[in-house]
């Protein structure tokens, strides 16, 4: 899919901004604090209906009542007009001018893969961040997964409330707990099997990408560490006492983790900044392929502040790969000095300053 044109109204530091994007690479060049990330964020919000870094109302330009993002997106066999409006009254999403009542019918039409500097916390940070990262990706491409996840959370909440009552002695009969535990085990099974399949596929692709990006001997492996995997119901039952004592469910997808192995050692403790960046990039590129395999259409790739951290050879290598893969990418950077001319000639370049974006023409004017 390609965003042909996009317009923002009162989004962050943008007043009114319309852009015609290239179907290939688009560079947003500007100093810090000018609005580069804000622009990527607008595209993200258009696709996923919420930001990855703040609440809805923070997205509205200071002193304004609402914000609107609108784009024409070319999909494999059709064009679609997508629009989102956020205000104190809530959010409204529209496709081809028609309001879409359920967000789950809207999300997943415009697929986005984002590399954000925040993602660098992923490798060494807490498991919560890793679960969130993979859940967002899976949820974008698999509507059932989103539904299963919310069903799971609902049953988990019921079970935890009951466990609290049992912990305090207010409830002693275990009949209801048995019923809920059985329900929970079914929900867990669905989530775990989806995560397992997904990580298997993404992991194989990411391992290849990592080699390509780094040209080093280090092998990379993505692994899934489910907190329970086999005989789920029996395991849950055998741990009921611990759950009652602690008043909460200690095993399940909400306690899962993922690991990133470099030459068979966990990267959590040892990966350098550069290696972490390459791990995330390798995963992002794998996700792009994965979405393509499912939908026969490439997602939009947003790369925020990734280039300056790579050496020149790796920058150009990555950009060439993106060009050859044929997807649309929007890339922020503070400068283009290190990027080879033939790459720039095939791309659109936009200057960003004080919430205003202007396309550069290639003769430098």
Residues within the interface to ligand ADP (CB under 6 A): 12-13, 30, 32-38, 58, 60-62
326 binds, among Mg ion, ligand ADP, none (CB under 5 to 8 A by kind): none
The verdict on 333 binding Mg ion (CB under 5 A) reads: no
Closest CA to 93 of 126, 130, 122, 50: 50
Q: Which is nearer to Mg ion, 9 or 37 (CB)?
A: 37
d(CA 2, CA 358): 20
d(CA 146, CA 108): 11
The verdict on 37 binding Mg ion (CB under 5 A) reads: yes
Q: Which is nearer to ligand ADP, 35 or 252 (CB)?
A: 35
Q: Which is nearer to ligand ADP, 41 or 243 (CB)?
A: 41
CA–centroid distance for 176 within its chain: 37
d(CA 148, CA 160): 18
130 binds, among Mg ion, ligand ADP, none (CB under 5 to 8 A by kind): none
CA–centroid distance for 147 within its chain: 17
- Give yes or no for a contact between 7 and 16, defined as CB atoms under 8 angstroms apart: yes
13 binds, among Mg ion, ligand ADP, none (CB under 5 to 8 A by kind): ligand ADP
Minimum CB separation from ligand ADP for residue 33, in Å?
A: 4
Q: Which is nearer to Mg ion, 36 or 298 (CB)?
A: 36
- Give yes or no for a contact between 33 and 39, defined as CB atoms under 8 angstroms apart: no
Q: Contact region for Mg ion (CB under 5 A) — 30-38, 53-61, 173-181, 264-272?
A: 30-38
38 binds, among ligand ADP, Mg ion, none (CB under 5 to 8 A by kind): ligand ADP
Count interface residues toward Mg ion (CB under 5 A).
2
Minimum CB separation from ligand ADP for residue 41, in Å?
A: 7
DSSP readout, 154-199?
HHHHHHHHHHHHHHTTS----HHHHHHHHHHHHHHHHHHHHHHHHH
Q: What are the DSSP E strand ranges found in 42-96?
A: 66-74, 79-87, 90-95
12 binds, among ligand ADP, Mg ion, none (CB under 5 to 8 A by kind): ligand ADP
Q: Which is nearer to Mg ion, 36 or 254 (CB)?
A: 36
Bridge partner residues of 222 (DSSP): 260
Bridge partner residues of 261 (DSSP): 221, 266
């Amino acid at each position: 899919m390609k965003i042909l044109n996009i317009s923002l109204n009162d989004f962050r530091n943008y007043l009114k901004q319309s852009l015609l994007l290239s179907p290939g690479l688009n560079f947003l060049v500007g100093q810090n604090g000018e609005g580069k990330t804000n622009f990527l964020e607008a595209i993200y919000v258009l696709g996923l209906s919420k930001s990855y870094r703040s609440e809805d109302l923070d997205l509205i330009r200071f002193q304004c009542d609402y914000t609107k993002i609108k784009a024409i997106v070319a999909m494999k066999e059709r064009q679609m007009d997508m629009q989102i409006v956020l205000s104190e009254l809530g959010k409204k999403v529209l496709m081809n001018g028609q309001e879409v009542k359920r967000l789950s019918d809207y999300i997943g039409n415009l697929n986005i893969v984002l590399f954000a500097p925040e993602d660098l916390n992923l490798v060494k940070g807490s498991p919560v961040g890793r679960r969130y990262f993979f859940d967002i990706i899976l949820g974008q491409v698999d509507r059932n997964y989103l539904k299963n996840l919310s069903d799971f959370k609902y049953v988990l909440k019921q079970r935890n409330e009951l466990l609290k009552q049992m912990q305090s002695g207010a409830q002693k009969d275990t009949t209801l707990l048995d019923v809920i535990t059985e329900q929970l085990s079914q929900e867990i099974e669905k989530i775990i099997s989806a995560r397992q399949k997904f990580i298997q596929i993404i992991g194989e692709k990411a391992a290849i990408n990592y080699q390509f990006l780094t040209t080093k001997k280090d092998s990379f492996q993505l692994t899934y560490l489910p907190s329970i995997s086999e005989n789920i119901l029996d395991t849950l039952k055998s741990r009921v006492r611990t759950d009652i004592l602690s008043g909460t469910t200690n095993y399940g997808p909400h306690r899962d983790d993922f690991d990133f192995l470099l030459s068979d050692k966990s990267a959590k403790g040892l990966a350098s900044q550069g290696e972490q960046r390459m791990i995330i990039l390798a995963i992002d590129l794998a996700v792009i392929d994965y979405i393509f395999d499912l939908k026969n259409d490439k997602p939009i790739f947003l790369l925020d502040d990734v280039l300056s951290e790579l050496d020149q050879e790796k920058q150009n290598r990555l950009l060439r790969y993106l060009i050859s893969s044929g997807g649309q990418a929007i890339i922020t950077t503070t400068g283009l000095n290190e990027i080879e001319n033939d790459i720039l000639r095939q791309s659109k370049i936009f200057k960003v300053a004080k919430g205003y974006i202007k396309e550069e023409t290639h003769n430098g004017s």
